[in-house]
Structure 1
């Protein structure tokens, strides 16, 4: 995810201003009736022509760009349908939420989809309107059309809105405001019932067969509807058991784990049922999908005892046992995770969340925070969390149609926009909670800023949860993390393509990690996050006593205007020692540091180019020039390094030390000087190191870990190489051990440390 302020991009500013103008124009017509009634045939013809034109345009081009706007928030309907009054299309007025009412409509065209699912609908009088449903896209691997012709639905608190082309149509942002009616529903007018729907004497077995046909065609949504109709068609007890089993499997296919669990629980509670084996397995599958692995293992163990020949149960039990072990011990096969993430698209990994020696508590005026429950060492695993929702995107990636795909989400009120996968992530969150309301407690209390949801949000009304899309959007904007496919793979790519120490700030993928969202920010953080697919790994970057609050960097300390972004995005100003020092340091000193750092790079740049310099004299010259620049740079700092890390100075010492161990062709290295400068570099980050100097016969021991600076791993590897070249093998082994800890912190694991190039 990449969030930007609109003022930095003139074309976006123009886009936002035009949208604001349209919103003002629309609001000026609030309460008015549409200028003219839609003509049925003309409206349908125009929609179908537009749908086909858009599809032709998309398939002929190489770039698909979708721009979504976050509209002005409005509350979802929190009333049961029985308390609402029925109205017709002719009763609607513009730019108005018709509270306390509902509209019954039928779809009359095939659906279209750009940023919303769209179709033309009619009411019982034959009046037609465009309907736009947001966040209703099926996010399963095999999506089905939700607005197929003939679909009948109810729209709670209908909202008639002016459209961009000057027309008008219905818009629904809240999935809970839409009620899809099954074909057998008594509320469907007789004039809308097809021949298949009309006969009242069709048997349960007839509808079950229809459901089985749809299931075989991977039309699981339709299958559920037919199975549901079969259950109200007077099935026998045996038929009812079979139908519920079939429906539970269809629910599983669409990730409706709560509904699947409810079906099989009703079967297992019936002592007369003969569907025990399949019901137990379906229950285990639903529990696995909800990540309730201990319960899943209990069910599968019972299944294996009663049905020892069930090979599928054996395989599922092995998987559940592995997930439970991860969940309780935090022991992962990280090398396998790396391999899985490199192969899967999207990289949704089948692994469990582990919460280690940390817990969520109140953190004063900072709200909730995460604290240690026991003392931990640098590199220790604090937690490893699977994303609640995760949307994958790659720069330059092509979609299934072979075209480059990009999405832009514009927040008109905040004058900001996001590129990447965030629009998809919002829909994924909405859909996951709507399908599995039992999971709402994991996210509903996350930080939402000043947004106040309507009473009844997340409650169950008419059998479904009331979801406020704008609340969930706000939660995502404040709590999601941008991420890479794999920090380790990205680091290797950067080394190969653009050299050592280069920063990388483009995070096209994003996700919501609910537990991690409670961690507060500090530029001088004591923990570091890394990613492998949709797994976030957080490790301590220093030794921490019990009851220490964990902090991470929301933005890098190198991010321009980060204080402004802290205020705009999270409504706080960072007051860490690094930020305070930055505020107290004059612009002239900051400019001097930047100038000296650039001069230092100019001295070092030729040294790392093959054949640029030759002979020990050149090395001596580089050391002399760089030492003078480093001394001048050190003079720009006044506060003790124990209080504030000296970032620019650290980078200078590190780069010179690394350069002296990675010379170009014909260059005689100077490992002795590399050791001296490497140790000084670490001290600039606040490391307290005992021993390590050449010729002292002292062991290398880190007494206190310092700031996790960019390139820390490279510094330790530089020291390791320098020690080896001087014959100090014990010191080299010690440096290698600390490099391994840094690798573990930076990339989340050290199982692949031996593959470091």
Structure 2
């Protein structure tokens, strides 16, 4: 992830870091020892009582959370990233049933499915939740744990219903050595609604009554703003109405579900349901209802950035209700977005003026016409200029695929330990959760996200959906976020690394690193602008700096830890050939210069202050060999030189 302001660094004591490593390694050893062992039966009553008590304690905030650790400035979650495994990519009807008694330790039961019912309250912790479950006849009891992605629309998935089917269940151990069924990928857990039994629906009349009851329950839930419940009830009613060919009722429910899906951000579903709800009759009521459907579909297409489709849908809406002002407003906005998308003619001044903490996501289109994605030899895929561009010219303007601001409730920073390289990293897991949620809501967005670089080998034949719904590999999402996310800065007063704003920009993610970049980033809300720092010729690769630390050793370590590569740019080559004493002296002077800049504001600079700043700048400059650094940036002098430039301008 692109580096944040180093003024607010999170770090662990050696003892805490070692405790995380030890915990992960001990669990891995225990799991290895019991692999393929038969499951040991649990006693139902004490197990359920234990879960009930733990749930009460968690709700009251009185139970210790084993995932919370002490770090600089307070506590935060520690997430141990186990060896990744892929989600199940086949439908339920292709899996063979199994029972709880068939479970084997440290085993992913491929080709199997396990039907269960929740038997206890859910214990909701910071990064995971758990409960006790039983088989369908209640004879066997086992622990079920849901990992980081345990929420759906801010609600615990395990609390949405009592009945589930687990696809290819993974039976393992907790960090405390307790056996548990573990869910990591949300698509591996299929929630079952308490549907009306098929034998209760004996004819079309009974089916219509059942579907209507579901519709009314959905309407009631919508009135109470319980959107997940409304969506579930509409889905149940739509299934019944569709299976029994009750077309009018099916259209009504689909139209209502499209409205709820729009509110939930499930935009792909809006397009499908709105189309299914069209009546296409000439009477006034039918036209009015179809107008609503086109409006909802057009709104979804607009939010997905599909502006030609959105224009077509709103034009159809206007034919049915020509006086609708909201539709006309959307058509004007679509014209503006298409102009931005084609030519990059954005009104950045207006964007900045309208930006507020409450309106932090800007309504603009992405412009990438000056660039293309190509292979870049040793650097993998990269972004290249398609035409000549002058210094300071706009290279691209991109709206974030997903951004989590430090003031959002979704923001969450954790210390993550990856046993694959034995490294502990600061990770914005709130962004990872938000990306997964968006992909689950909009499966059409899964392929472009999953094609980004990660430690996982890209599967050209990857399966992203089954009959049961979208399939999202959460381990790959985490790696993609870690390698490709950016920090858009403290635009709205976020304090530091513990609540830093982070986001994912899909096109900008292809820009490779250089310590001598030819491009720079700036942000207006969730919009990233990339400008040329010098003249760029057509066919030239675009570079920006992932880490701008003047400390060569710190910069090299950050690039290796976060992105997994060693930079070989001209600046790194120059610094590599220097002595450690020279670099240490430079960093000492840079520290003095930064302290001076923090202490002395340039707007109040006196003559003596300017003289002192000039002396500091000269001292840093003298640590750089003129021949070796000709044409290269002198990073350590950056802050003091900027201060001097502003102070001198002020004096003039």
Which residue does the alignment assign to 2:573? 580
| CA pair 22-601 structure 1, distance change in 2 beyond 3 A | closer
Alignment of 1:467-482 (within 5 A): 467-482=472-487
With the length of structure 2 as denominator, give the TM-score of the two structures: 0.85
Q: Are residues 1:298 and 2:298 paired?
A: no
The Cα shift of 1:200 comes to 6.7
The Cα shift of 1:646 comes to 3.6
The Cα shift of 1:267 comes to 3.4
Identify which of 622, 632, 641 aligns with 1:644. Answer: 632
| CA pair 298-135 structure 1, distance change in 2 beyond 3 A | farther
Conservation of the 8 A alpha-carbon contact between 1:458 and 1:467: no
Which residue does the alignment assign to 1:452? 457
| CA pair 535-485 structure 1, distance change in 2 beyond 3 A | farther
Which residue does the alignment assign to 1:665? none
Instruction: Deviation per CA, 1:208-250: give whole Å up to 9, x if none.
Output: 1111111212222222232233231446432222111011112
| CA pair 177-340 structure 1, distance change in 2 beyond 3 A | farther
Structure 1 Cα separation of the partners of residues 325 and 364 of structure 2 = 21
Instruction: Deviation per CA, 1:598-645: give whole Å up to 9, x if none.
Output: 7888999999799998xx8x699x48x956983895375131654323
Structure 2 Cα separation of the partners of residues 605 and 238 of structure 1 = 69
Give the superposed CA RMSD.
3.8
Identify which of 236, 240, 250 aligns with 1:229. Answer: 236
SS in 2 for 1:28: helix
Structure 2 Cα separation of the partners of residues 609 and 247 of structure 1 = 58
Identify which of 98, 101, 115 aligns with 1:104. Answer: 115
Structure 2 Cα separation of the partners of residues 149 and 369 of structure 1 = 43
SS in 1 for 2:392: coil
With the length of structure 1 as denominator, give the TM-score of the two structures: 0.74
* Bigger Rg, which one: 1
Q: Are residues 1:392 and 2:399 paired?
A: no
Runs of 5+ consecutive residues of structure 1 not aligned to the other structure? 194-198, 494-503, 655-710, 726-757
Conservation of the 8 A alpha-carbon contact between 2:81 and 2:417: yes
Q: Are residues 1:570 and 2:531 paired?
A: no
Q: Are residues 1:209 and 2:221 paired?
A: no
Which residue does the alignment assign to 1:55? 59
| CA pair 98-619 structure 1, distance change in 2 beyond 3 A | closer
Conservation of the 8 A alpha-carbon contact between 2:465 and 2:471: yes
Runs of 5+ consecutive residues of structure 2 not aligned to the other structure? 66-72, 201-205
Q: Are residues 1:257 and 2:261 paired?
A: no
| CA pair 57-207 structure 1, distance change in 2 beyond 3 A | closer
Identify which of 518, 522, 525 aligns with 1:526. Answer: 518
| CA pair 318-634 structure 1, distance change in 2 beyond 3 A | same
The Cα shift of 1:29 comes to 0.8
Structure 1 Cα separation of the partners of residues 596 and 102 of structure 2 = 76
Structure 1 Cα separation of the partners of residues 600 and 221 of structure 2 = 68
Which deviates the most, 374-383 or 96-105?
A: 374-383
Conservation of the 8 A alpha-carbon contact between 2:451 and 2:458: no
SS in 1 for 2:177: coil
Structure 2 Cα separation of the partners of residues 40 and 91 of structure 1 = 17
| CA pair 599-12 structure 1, distance change in 2 beyond 3 A | closer
Conservation of the 8 A alpha-carbon contact between 2:412 and 2:499: no
SS in 1 for 2:157: coil
Alignment of 1:586-665 (within 5 A): 586-594=579-587, 622=611, 630=618, 633-634=621-622, 636-639=624-627, 642-648=630-636, 654=641
Q: Are residues 1:123 and 2:130 paired?
A: no
| CA pair 242-588 structure 1, distance change in 2 beyond 3 A | same
Aligned length: 625
| CA pair 520-200 structure 1, distance change in 2 beyond 3 A | same
Structure 2 Cα separation of the partners of residues 405 and 416 of structure 1 = 19
The Cα shift of 1:268 comes to 4.0
Conservation of the 8 A alpha-carbon contact between 1:634 and 1:649: no
| CA pair 426-305 structure 1, distance change in 2 beyond 3 A | same
Structure 2 Cα separation of the partners of residues 513 and 610 of structure 1 = 36
Alignment of 1:459-498 (within 5 A): 459-486=464-491
